[in-house]
């Protein structure tokens, strides 16, 4: 079941066909910030999958919604 949800999200993800540059323009932040967040995101999402491409797609979807998603996640995890 979890796998099915993951596949569906990958196929219909919010960041489908988007690049880091696209997300930087959308959120009006630097590409460097998003690259840093993406690196953190891939590491975090690898807790759920061993596939780096899947982890990257999930991270990109989170960054599509919030360019500082993984900084905020880190703060919340400390609580």
Q: Where are the domains of the chain?
A: 2-78
Name the nearest CA neighbour of 60 among 11, 26, 23: 23
pLDDT tens digits, residue range 39-78? 999 999 999 888 898 899 899 999 999 999 999 988 777 6
pLDDT tens digits, residue range 11-48? 668 888 999 999 999 999 999 999 999 999 999 999 98
Beta carbons within 10 angstroms of residue 8's beta carbon: 10
């Amino acid at each position: 079941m979890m796998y099915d949800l993951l596949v569906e999200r990958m196929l219909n993800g919010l960041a489908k066909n988007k690049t880091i540059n696209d997300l930087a323009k959308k959120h009006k932040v630097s590409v460097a910030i998003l690259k840093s967040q993406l690196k953190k995101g891939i590491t975090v999402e690898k807790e759920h999958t061993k596939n780096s491409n899947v982890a990257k797609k999930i991270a990109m979807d989170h960054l599509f919604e919030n360019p500082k998603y993984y900084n905020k996640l880190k703060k919340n995890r400390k609580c």
